[in-house]
């Protein structure tokens, strides 16, 4: 009898404790006037540790000392690219459900590559007269045939969508980024998205969001803040001797971007140059401009000024851009992260002044990590190298001819997917699955290819975490026929100026920080495995909204005050 009474008492105590925690959480959610979702493009999960001893008091350090820090957060999909990660953060699910399987995929009907958020029905709104078209250093942008952009290719709702619905359309939803594919997913289908244009140096949007720019946007662009860097350079924030990579500035395998150079100071050149606005992106400048524009959104739209929580996503793009040309273990990466720390401190001071950090729920993460340069890893003893896309197509076509006697079997390879020409294979009266397996087998004979696997048919292969990541990345209408995975630290991408690529399923590309800070959240460091797909469900649970429509992630109990 005594044991029964004690059991009932214990159950009651657990229920009361849980209820009190829930009440406390609900109260904390009611205090929130702004959800500030910060995403740092390409911020691999170890970089905050690597440079943390030199952070100031108000930026990364504030989040690291005041928030719940998840130091073992990994994406569960295979193609760790910008649109994929941003959309996963926004929707709480994998590409197999939200549909953004890569920055680029092949439209089977037209036979042309598709840029992820391209939408000809919603062209870019013009700003000032554009005198030039920037030279594209980003191969993914070359797939874009029009400048129209919208979220219509995203096949799931986002947290920001659900917040908008939950508040009866009263929540103000905005997203700002150095890239269009960083801004659009987080704004969802209900918000307003702005991004930096390498054509003009302005922040732009499309006809999906506005018929014409609000006056405050036109006024901001009229300042021409990008052009103020005419003739200037990116200089180190501190003395070279204080940097971990201070003696490694001049490495032959880093990219020399014409007049910008591969060593400090990196000259931006003339504002009239076609590469000027791109050079600003490959430096801390565009992060500074993004911050200034984000603060203007807060002030001009009155975010956080009433009891209805508003949402602002800010995606900083310069770390990723710098990584692509200099690598994550470079003096350039080190400096751009340290400069971003100052930028974040400025943003948080502004938010505290205008809204109050006590009323602001902050989440910081990244869309993907980043590989080291192959040459850098070779210096450290790893047998690695480079494979380019045209070689993958050549091997696949040769295998199809040698093994099955057909020509033109490959429609296109754009990493990570090889697309076969199904019509050619059917006309040859061949079994598609046999051709897929034969081509995949030939690809795996090439040194540097860890796995080539048919997306729809994986045969008798033992189920592994890697195959699970590929399945999570696969969408019936957008994925290719064979998924190609390079060996760790091997480069696999198109020929061009890009020196380093993310996009693999390996741990250095899936590893990102996840940090929550805000009302009712107690400082804690958590080492259990979590996933960025958990971010949106956690935000939904904290604010009491529905989960995004296709969410598969789970609320993070440490953020919610649960054990």
Write out pLDDT tens, residues 231-263.
Answer: 999 999 999 999 999 999 999 999 988 889 999
pLDDT mean over 6-22: 36
Contact 87, 96 (CB under 8 A): no
Positions of E strands within 178-325: 192-196, 203-204, 233-234, 266-267, 310-316
Cβ count near 261 (within 10 Å): 16
User: Could you tell me how far CA 366 lies from the centroid of its own chain?
Assistant: 6
Q: Residue 206: which residues within 8 A CB-CB, separation 6 or more?
A: 119, 122, 123, 124, 125, 147, 148, 149, 150, 193
Q: Which ranges in 56-196 belong to alpha helices (H)?
A: 60-66, 82-91, 95-98, 159-166, 180-187
pTM of the model: 0.94
The pLDDT score that the predictor gives to residue 377 is 98
Mean per-residue pLDDT for 5-21? 36
What's the angle, vertex CA 271, arms to CA 266 and CA 276, rounded to 5? 50
Q: What is the predicted pLDDT for the residue at 277?
A: 97
Q: Helix 318-326 crosses helix 331-354 at what angle (to 10 degrees)?
A: 180
CA distances from 431 to 423, 425, 426 (A): 12, 8, 7
Helix (H, G, I), strand (E, B) or coil at 233: strand
Inter-residue contact 53 to 71 (CB < 8 Å): no
Share of the chain residues as helix, strand and coil, in percent rounded to the nearest 5: 40, 15, 45
Q: What is the C-alpha separation between 83 and 183, in angstroms, rounded? A: 10
Of the candidates 503, 443, 423, the residue with the CA atom closest to the CA atom of residue 470: 503
pLDDT tens sequence across 494-515: 998 999 999 999 999 999 999 9
Residue range 402-423: mean pLDDT, rounded: 96
Q: Which two tokens stand for residue 244?
A: 């971990």
What is the residue-wise DSSP string for 38-65?
EEETT--TTHHHHHGGG--SSSHHHHHH
Q: Say what the pLDDT of residue 408 is.
A: 94
Cα angle 493, 497, 501 (rounded to 5 degrees) comes to 40
Residue 12's pLDDT is what? 40
Helix, strand or coil, per DSSP, at residue 293: helix
Helix axis angle, 159-166 to 535-543, nearest 10°: 10
pLDDT at 138: 74
The predicted model gives 510-526 an average pLDDT of: 98
pLDDT, mean of residues 169-194: 98
The 3-state secondary structure of 386-419 reads EEEHHHHHHHHHHHHHHHHCCCCCEEEEECCEEE
Residue carrying structure tokens 């790893």: 382
Burial tier of 104 (Cβ tally within 10 Å: 0-12, 13-18, 19+): buried
Pairwise CA distance, residues 357 & 518, whole Å: 7
Region 537-552 average pLDDT: 98
Starting at the earlier edge strand, list the strands of the sheet with 360-365.
203-204, 192-196, 173-177, 310-316, 34-40, 360-365, 511-517, 68-74, 524-526
* Domain spanning 386-487: CATH 1.20.1530.20: no
How open is the CA angle 508-510-516, to the nearest 5 degrees? 115
pLDDT reading at 401 higher than 50: yes
Name the 3-class secondary structure at 89: helix
pLDDT averaged over every residue in the chain:
93
* Main-chain phi, psi angles of 511, to 5 degrees: -85, 120
The model's pLDDT over 103-145, given as tens digits with 9 standing for 90+, comes to 999 998 889 999 999 999 999 999 875 545 555 667 777 788 8
69, 73, 43, 74: which is closest to 340 by C-alpha? 43
> Within a 10 A sphere around the Cβ of 177, how many other Cβ atoms?
30
> Would you give the end-to-end CA distance of the chain in angstroms?
30
Query: How far is Cα 25 from Cα 521, in angstroms, rounded to an integer?
Result: 9
Q: Find out whether 312 and 294 touch, Cβ atoms under 8 Å.
A: yes
Contact 278, 328 (CB under 8 A): no
Residues of the chain with CATH 3.40.720.10: 32-377+510-543
Mean pLDDT of 481-485: 98
- State the CATH class of domain 32-377+510-543: alpha beta
Asked if pLDDT for residue 460 goes beyond 60, the answer is no
Over range 175-200, report the average pLDDT. 98
The pLDDT value given to residue 132: 55
Give CA separation, 127 vs 72, 135, 167, 300, 447, in Å.
42, 19, 32, 18, 49
pLDDT interval class at 337 (50, 70, 90) = very high
Chain segment 338-382, per-residue pLDDT in tens: 999 999 999 999 999 999 999 999 999 999 999 999 999 999 999
- Could you tell me where in the chain the CATH 3.30.1360.150 domains are found? 386-487
> Which H or E run includes 31?
helix 2-31
């Amino acid at each position: 009898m005594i044991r029964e009474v004690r059991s009932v008492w214990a159950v009651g105590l657990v229920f009361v404790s849980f209820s009190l925690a829930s009440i406390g959480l609900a109260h904390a959610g009611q205090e929130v006037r702004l959800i500030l979702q910060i995403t740092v493009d390409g911020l691999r999960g170890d970089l905050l540790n690597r440079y943390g001893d030199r952070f100031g008091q108000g930026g990364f350090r504030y989040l690291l000392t005041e928030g719940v820090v998840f130091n073992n957060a990994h994406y569960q999909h295979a193609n760790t690219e910008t649109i994929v990660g941003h959309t996963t953060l926004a929707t709480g699910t994998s590409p197999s459900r939200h549909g953004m399987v890569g920055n680029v995929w092949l439209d089977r009907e037209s036979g042309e590559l598709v840029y992820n958020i391209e939408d000809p029905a919603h062209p870019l709104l013009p700003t000032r007269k554009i005198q030039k078209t920037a030279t594209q250093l980003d191969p993914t942008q070359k797939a874009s045939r029009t400048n129209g952009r919208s979220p219509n290719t995203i096949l799931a709702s986002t947290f920001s969508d659900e917040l908008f619905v939950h508040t009866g359309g009263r929540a103000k939803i905005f997203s700002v980024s150095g890239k269009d594919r960083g801004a659009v997913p987080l704004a969802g289908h209900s918000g307003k998205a702005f991004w930096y244009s390498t054509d003009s140096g302005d922040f732009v949007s499309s006809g999906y969001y506005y018929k014409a720019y609000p006056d405050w946007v036109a006024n901001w662009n009229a300042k021409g803040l990008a052009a103020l860097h005419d003739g200037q350079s990116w200089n180190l924030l501190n003395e070279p001797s204080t940097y971990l990579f201070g003696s490694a500035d001049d490495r032959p395998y880093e990219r020399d971007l014409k007049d910008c150079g591969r060593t400090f100071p990196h000259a931006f050149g003339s504002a009239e140059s076609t590469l000027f606005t791109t050079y600003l992106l490959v430096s801390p400048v565009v992060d500074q401009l993004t911050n200034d524009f984000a603060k203007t959104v807060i002030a001009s739209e009155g975010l956080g000024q009433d009891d209805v929580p508003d949402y602002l996503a800010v995606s900083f793009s310069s770390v990723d851009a710098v990584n692509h040309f200099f690598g994550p273990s470079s003096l350039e990466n080190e400096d751009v992260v340290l400069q971003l720390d100052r930028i974040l401190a400025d943003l948080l001071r502004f938010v505290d002044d205008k809204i109050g950090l006590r009323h602001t729920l902050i989440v910081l993460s990244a869309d993907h990590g980043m590989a080291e340069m192959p040459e850098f890893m070779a210096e450290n003893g790893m047998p690695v190298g480079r494979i380019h896309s045209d070689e993958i197509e050549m091997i696949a076509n040769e295998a199809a001819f040698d093994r099955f006697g057909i020509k033109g079997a490959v429609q296109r390879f754009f990493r990570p997917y090889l697309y076969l020409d199904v019509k050619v294979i059917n006309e040859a009266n061949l079994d598609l699955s046999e051709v897929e397996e034969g081509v995949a087998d030939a690809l795996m004979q090439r040194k540097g290819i860890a796995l080539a696997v048919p997306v729809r048919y994986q045969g008798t292969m033992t189920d592994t975490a890697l195959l699970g990541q590929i399945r999570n990345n696969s969408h019936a209408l957008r994925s290719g026929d064979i998924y190609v995975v390079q060996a760790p630290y091997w480069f696999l991408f198109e020929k061009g100026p890009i020196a380093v690529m993310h996009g693999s399923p390996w741990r250095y590309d899936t590893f990102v920080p996840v940090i929550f800070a805000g009302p009712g959240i107690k400082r804690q460091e958590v080492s259990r495995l979590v996933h960025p797909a958990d971010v949106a469900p956690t935000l939904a649970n904290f604010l009491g909204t529905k989960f995004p429509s296709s969410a598969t992630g789970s609320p993070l109990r440490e953020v919610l005050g649960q054990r």
